[in-house]
Structure 1
Amino acid sequence: MDKTNLLVTIAEITMLISLFLSLFLLTVKTQHKLSNRLFAFFLILTAIDIGGNLDNLFEPGLNARIFISSIFFLQLPTFYLYVLSVCYADFKLKPKHLIHGVPFLIANLILIPRFYTVDLASKISFLEKSSTRLEIQFNHILIHIQIVVYIIAAFMILRRAKKIYLENYAGANIESLHWLFQFTSALSAFYFIALLKNIFKFTDYPYISEWLKAGLFIFELIIIFWYLYKALNNPSLFRNIDSKLKLVKNIISEDKNTGPLAVNEKEYKEELSKLKKYMEEDKPFLNPSLTIQDVSREIKIPVRDLSVLINHKLDQHFYDFVNTYRITCAMDILKDVTKSKVTVLEILYEVGFNSKSSFNTAFKKHTGQTPTAYRKLL
């Protein structure tokens, strides 16, 4: 099998997997329909883009070919909206989000006078000199600006969502954010390689561009298989948070502007005592889905004050604060000789964790050792 046939085969497999996964996401019964639909649309756009990049896969007309190539302008905006929908439970598509389609419209509108509306001979002449056409040059610059802007924006959303999660939740959502960060990083690497491909395309080394193009097809296939594996093996992974929650630093900043902090030193000591008593006696940390709202409701301290108390006064994220109690409880079980037969997996579920990786990370952070190593030293 020569290089061309190999590329076509890889492209066909990638397209089929993309379309299969998009169909699965559109039909599977889940409460996260918007996230699934957005990622399905991203996969469909990806499949179209792959098809448009292989001349011998199908032969559309020139207008259709150029229009298909502009589909790329919709991919990253769709992925960005997907990240928002995964991070925030209350995210909804609104008319204002149509602004993300503006680059796609601009890319096509500027081609109307000298390409879309002219005769076939003029179209061919335009494409033969595409590297010198202002419209093509503008679109290339616009694509690369869009890649940088949306990748940075996605990472900023994930960074903020992670901070909000750590300050308000103590469940497994952090695993979802970690994975989404990894997936975004993989896409960033993909688009960086695509950028290099485009640069070499207009140099004295076009063959490097062709090899990078082949590598991109393989990389794309790996990324899609990775997502499919993760989605099917962890159907409960993708959970989201409330976007109305504020970061503690913003709460404190607002308090400084409006008056004294909501919690003074005397109230701080009283509420801290109440909080610790509740954690030690009622053991709410055993609930793997515990949130700061749950604790607030039980001990009658407003969420805003409780958040400042834990995240600012104790200098701990709520996530770490709760995990400290879970790890202490796990250590007690590991020390208990009567429970030597209890496995580490059983212990992590018993103390409120629902992920082995998050338990091991938290345990090592607290003790400097893995749970297995800790047990062996006793």
Structure 2
Amino acid sequence: MVFNLWSILLIASASQCVFLIVFFANRPSRNKLASRLLILMLSVLLFMTVSNLWYASKIYLDVPWLAGVGRGSTLLLGPAFFLYTLAVVKPDFKLKTKHLLHLLGYVLNWGVLIMQPRPAGLSSEMAAVEAFLMDGLPASPVVLGRFAFYSLHFITYLYLSHQAVKQLKQSNDAYTIAMETRGRWITRLNLILVVLAVAICTGFIYASVTQYYSFQTNFLLTLIYSFFIYVIAYQALSDDKQVHPEFKLKYQGSLGDEKEKEKTIVQLKKVLEEEKLFLRSDLKQADVASKLNLPAHQLTKLLNSALNQSFFDLINEYRVKHFISLAQDENNKHLSIFGLAQESGFKSKSSFNTAFKKVEGQTPSTFLKNSSVN
């Protein structure tokens, strides 16, 4: 392994990438999708860094089979950055199967590379690498075509990311981490990647004019995406909430008009019914309030005014209904009354009996006897 300015810079960048990947993988985040996509983007950058390190430190002399493994990595960086942008600025963004289409450019590029004629034998391939590092390699029409594709592909994704940020101006900013703050962060990253795109285009133009592609272009690109990595690192260590910002609503002080209250009640019931939070015996009001992006005291006020119920009255009502459905299931006949109550989220027999009588107007045993369930 050879150490020079280029290889040392690449080792530093790779180390920083590994640190950030571990940092974000272990850092609690309420915007898990943004964290995962950021880790994906850093992994792509790590891949690009290591593939260049293969050339810079002459690792190819010991591991020749890795020749050219990182070619076309820019075709992964653009989509990764765009998807990360969407996760930062769009509260309803979710990854879907269709997003795999963003890999199409990278797959097509490798299809072209596989079909290209390669130097005959390993020694010829290593000689080509040595020539590339010394004087550069001839830029054939196929090579120039590939680099033109890299440039257009990358610029397209930077434009899409810019448009996603631009749309924030029309959005209603009701989040604790303002959309303007999110937009500034993405714009800062986008500007660095624009410089990277300009460098790629400059390398393409230079290769078109001279008919040679020089390793110096790779060195320039290394400087830019290393800077990009360190900008993320600086932000992560100073205030990582901007890097993977959650979509927590601001405290509004009130729930507004009746329509807003009704909407929140619908959301509350949906959360309780779909996630079955009431089955948790340790459920707290704050747990449910956080699901609705409300302060706990505001949820109390809503339940009192809209349903004339306390939080635990509502939860116990759901638990009693669940108990009845379990009791009516023939498969649960082996369970005692209290066993069914525990399965429904009740902690103690006394709290269960009190809640049941309040909801149904009779004791559990009387109810079951009258329902002919036993």
User: What is the TM-score with the length of structure 1 in the denominator?
Assistant: 0.57
Once the two structures are superposed, what CA deviation does each residue of 1:63-86 show, in whole Å capped at 9, x if it has no partner?
632232122211111111111111
Q: Which residue of 2 aligns with 1:163?
A: 170
Name the amino acid aligned to 1:18: C
Once the two structures are superposed, what CA deviation does each residue of 1:10-48 show, in whole Å capped at 9, x if it has no partner?
111011101211121122222222211211121121122
Contact 2:75 2:154 in 1 (8 A): no
Q: Please say if 1:298 is aligned against 2:256.
A: yes
The two structures, once aligned, show a CA RMSD in angstroms of 3.6
2:147 and 2:185 map into 1 onto residues whose CA distance is 30
Contact 2:168 2:179 in 1 (8 A): no
> Residue 80 of structure 1 is aligned with which of 62, 82, 95?
82
Once the two structures are superposed, what CA deviation does each residue of 1:287-343 show, in whole Å capped at 9, x if it has no partner?
x9246xx76x4134669xxxxxxxxxxxxxxxxxxxxxxxxxxxxxxxxxxxxxxxx
1:132 and 1:118 map into 2 onto residues whose CA distance is 18
Once the two structures are superposed, what CA deviation does each residue of 1:204-258 show, in whole Å capped at 9, x if it has no partner?
4979x6655444433333322221121222133243559xxxxxxxxxxxxxxxx
1:159 and 1:241 map into 2 onto residues whose CA distance is 18
1:211 and 1:137 map into 2 onto residues whose CA distance is 16
Q: Please say if 1:149 is aligned against 2:156.
A: yes
Q: Which residue of 2 aligns with 1:67?
A: 69
Q: Please say if 1:193 is aligned against 2:199.
A: yes
**CA 1:126–1:100 in 2, change beyond 3 Å: closer, same or farther?**
farther
2:220 and 2:26 map into 1 onto residues whose CA distance is 31
Q: Please say if 1:36 is aligned against 2:35.
A: yes
**CA 1:61–1:195 in 2, change beyond 3 Å: closer, same or farther?**
farther
Contact 2:25 2:35 in 1 (8 A): yes
Identity level (%): 18
Q: Which residue of 2 aligns with 1:236?
A: 241
Q: Which runs of 5+ in 1 are unaligned?
A: 243-287, 304-378
1:117 and 1:92 map into 2 onto residues whose CA distance is 44
Deviation of 1:189 (Å)? 1.5
Contact 1:88 1:240 in 2 (8 A): no
State the secondary structure of the residue aligned to 1:191: helix
2:23 and 2:176 map into 1 onto residues whose CA distance is 30
Contact 2:14 2:49 in 1 (8 A): yes
Contact 2:144 2:208 in 1 (8 A): no
1:240 and 1:162 map into 2 onto residues whose CA distance is 19
Q: Which residue of 2 aligns with 1:132?
A: 140
**CA 1:189–1:240 in 2, change beyond 3 Å: closer, same or farther?**
farther
Name the amino acid aligned to 1:235: D
Q: Which residue of 1 aligns with 2:111?
A: 109
1:29 and 1:222 map into 2 onto residues whose CA distance is 26
Aligned residues: 250
**CA 1:125–1:21 in 2, change beyond 3 Å: closer, same or farther?**
closer
Once the two structures are superposed, what CA deviation does each residue of 1:43-64 show, in whole Å capped at 9, x if it has no partner?
1211221222341432176663
1:99 and 1:82 map into 2 onto residues whose CA distance is 16
**CA 1:117–1:161 in 2, change beyond 3 Å: closer, same or farther?**
farther
Name the amino acid aligned to 2:196: F
Larger radius of gyration: 2
State the secondary structure of the residue aligned to 2:241: coil
1:70 and 1:44 map into 2 onto residues whose CA distance is 14
**CA 1:61–1:290 in 2, change beyond 3 Å: closer, same or farther?**
same
Contact 1:173 1:240 in 2 (8 A): no
User: What is the TM-score with the length of structure 2 in the denominator?
Assistant: 0.57
Contact 1:18 1:43 in 2 (8 A): yes
**CA 1:195–1:45 in 2, change beyond 3 Å: closer, same or farther?**
same
Q: How does 1:1-378 map to 2 (within 5 A)?
A: 5-54=4-53, 55-57=55-57, 58-59=59-60, 64-115=66-117, 120=122, 131-132=139-140, 134=142, 136-166=143-173, 168=174, 172-204=178-210, 213-237=218-242, 238-239=244-245, 289-290=250-251, 297-300=255-258
Deviation of 1:153 (Å)? 0.3
The answer to which of 151-160 and 54-63 deviates more is 54-63
Deviation of 1:121 (Å)? 7.8
Contact 1:42 1:78 in 2 (8 A): yes
Deviation of 1:170 (Å)? 7.2
Contact 2:89 2:179 in 1 (8 A): no
Contact 2:10 2:52 in 1 (8 A): no
Deviation of 1:123 (Å)? 6.2
Q: Which residue of 1 aligns with 2:346?
A: none
Contact 2:44 2:76 in 1 (8 A): yes
Name the amino acid aligned to 1:176: R
